[in-house]
């Protein structure tokens, strides 16, 4: 995106790519269909130490601008839940579109940077192939999430070299892990999925939750993981928008001989219904379920507090939170305030989107902002 905008302004542009093919994260995204943006994207869908930083770039090139670009290239797409937009064909279509838009630039793949310096007003970049000089340098190398794809902290190394501060990076949009004792109590639940509301501090999301062999996953957990910090509890509502106390009280009045687990199985997968009964010692017939027990069981359903032991880490994290401190950059141009000609864009910056196409939109918006100004 950045190379395309800069080349169309008449700039001579070289893109140095260490992988053999460009845009591997696009290729694997969205199950190979690329969730390229979100129709409902707003600055509220992004977290940062400075939540206002992303507003400028997102306003000047928003999701509708990118959608028009997709439409101009005659790429068919569909809208799914929560405003997510996916290609109907392969994700490679988005990569091909971006390469076509940047046809005025030179792309050098399978090339690693060995040394980087700035002499007066010129950057000197030594690579495994050759040495290049330019008055402007854009760092668009992302963060260390999914290292098996070649992701690294290269951007942070460059930022530190030029004296820029870094907001400590962490894995984001990542499954959370649980301690062995908790996992043992959940034996038989891995693979079970259900809608849930999960809260951490003042932030909450309402999407699908998935039990795994190592802890908790699913969209709702990935979303909350970007806000979670080690040692913090999360609060899980397993029956959002319903009142478990009313359900159980009414069921007891109408069908006192009915089994408690049987009633819960109407609203939960059978294995989870059984666990809820055992965890709260609420087994047997509804007639035997006291008002106190109903409240206890209901509290567990709506206010299940659990403290994750950690996360799956960068290995499976979809993004990296944190990054180059936005106080070091211009929100209009993405340029480093203290280093003329140096720019940071995309995931390398301390701006992280929610799950659902938002991080790609930040890539397009920040890339466009830099491309219009380099």
Tell me the per-residue pLDDT of 124-165, one tens digit each, with 9 for 90 and over.
999 999 999 999 999 999 999 999 988 999 999 999 999 999
Q: What's the pLDDT tens digit per position in 38-79?
A: 999 999 999 999 999 999 999 999 999 999 999 999 999 999
> Are 314 and 320 spatial neighbours (Cβ–Cβ below 8 Å)?
yes
From residue 147, give the alpha-carbon distance in Å to each of 23, 25, 306: 14, 11, 29
Q: Which domains does the chain have, with CATH numbers?
A: 2-168+320-371 (3.50.50.60), 175-312 (2.40.30.10)
The stretch 75-88 carries a mean pLDDT of 97
DSSP-derived secondary structure letter, 327: G
pLDDT of residue 272: 98
Q: What is the structure's pLDDT at 257?
A: 95
- pLDDT 10s digits, 220-239: 999 999 999 999 999 999 99
- Rounded to an integer, what distance in angstroms lies between the CA atom of residue 43 and that of residue 279? 41
State residue 61's pLDDT score. Answer: 98
pLDDT 10s digits, 103-119: 999 999 999 999 999 99
- The pLDDT value recorded for residue 124 is 98
Burial of 151 (0-12, 13-18, 19+ CB in 10 A): buried
Query: What is the band of 370 on the pLDDT scale with cuts at 50, 70, 90?
Result: very high
What is residue 173's predicted lDDT score, i.e. its pLDDT?
98
Residue 50 buriedness (CB in 10 A; 0-12 / 13-18 / 19+): middle
Instruction: Please report the beta strands in 218-372, taking only residues with DSSP state E, as ranges in sequence order.
Output: 234-237, 304-306, 310-311, 319-324, 342-344, 352-353
Nearest to 321 by CA among 169, 138, 151: 169
pLDDT digits (tens, 9 = 90+) for 308-366: 999 999 999 999 999 999 999 999 999 999 999 999 999 999 999 999 999 999 999 99
Total-model pTM: 0.94
């Amino acid at each position: 995106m950045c190379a395309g905008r800069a080349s169309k302004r008449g700039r001579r542009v070289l893109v140095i790519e260490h992988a053999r093919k460009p845009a591997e994260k696009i290729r694997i995204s969205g199950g190979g269909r690329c969730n390229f943006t979100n129709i409902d994207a707003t600055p509220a869908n992004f977290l940062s130490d400075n939540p206002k930083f992303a507003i400028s770039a997102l306003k000047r090139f928003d999701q509708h601008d990118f959608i028009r670009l997709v439409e101009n290239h005659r790429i068919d797409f569909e809208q799914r839940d929560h405003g997510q937009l996916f290609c109907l064909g392969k994700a490679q279509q988005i990569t091909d579109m971006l390469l076509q838009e940047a046809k005025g630039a030179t792309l050098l793949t399978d090339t690693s940077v060995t040394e980087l310096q700035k002499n007066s007003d010129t950057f000197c970049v030594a690579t495994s192939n050759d040495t290049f000089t330019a008055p402007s340098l854009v760092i668009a190398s992302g963060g260390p999430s999914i290292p098996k794809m070649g992701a690294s902290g290269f951007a942070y190394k460059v930022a530190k070299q030029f004296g820029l501060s870094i907001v400590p990076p962490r894995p984001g949009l990542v499954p959370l892990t649980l301690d062995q004792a908790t996992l043992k109590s959940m034996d038989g639940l891995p693979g079970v999925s259900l809608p849930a509301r999960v809260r951490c501090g003042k932030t909450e999301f309402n999407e699908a939750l998935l039990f795994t062999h190592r802890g908790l996953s699913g969209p709702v957990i990935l979303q909350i993981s970007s806000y979670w910090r080690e040692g913090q509890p999360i609060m899980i509502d397993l029956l959002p928008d319903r009142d478990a106390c009313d359900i159980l009280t009414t069921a007891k009045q109408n069908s006192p001989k009915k089994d408690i687990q049987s009633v819960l199985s109407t609203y939960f997968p059978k294995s989870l219904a059984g666990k809820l009964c055992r965890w709260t010692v609420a087994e047997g017939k509804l007639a035997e379920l006291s008002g106190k027990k109903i409240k206890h069981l209901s509290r567990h359903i709506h206010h299940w507090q659990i403290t994750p032991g950690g996360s799956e880490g960068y290995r499976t994290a979809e993004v990296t939170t944190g990054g180059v401190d936005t106080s070091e950059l211009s929100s209009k141009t993405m340029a480093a305030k203290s280093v003329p000609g140096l720019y940071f864009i995309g995931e390398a910056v301390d701006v992280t989107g929610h799950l659902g196409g938002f991080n790609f939109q930040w890539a397009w918006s920040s890339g466009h902002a830099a491309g219009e100004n380099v």
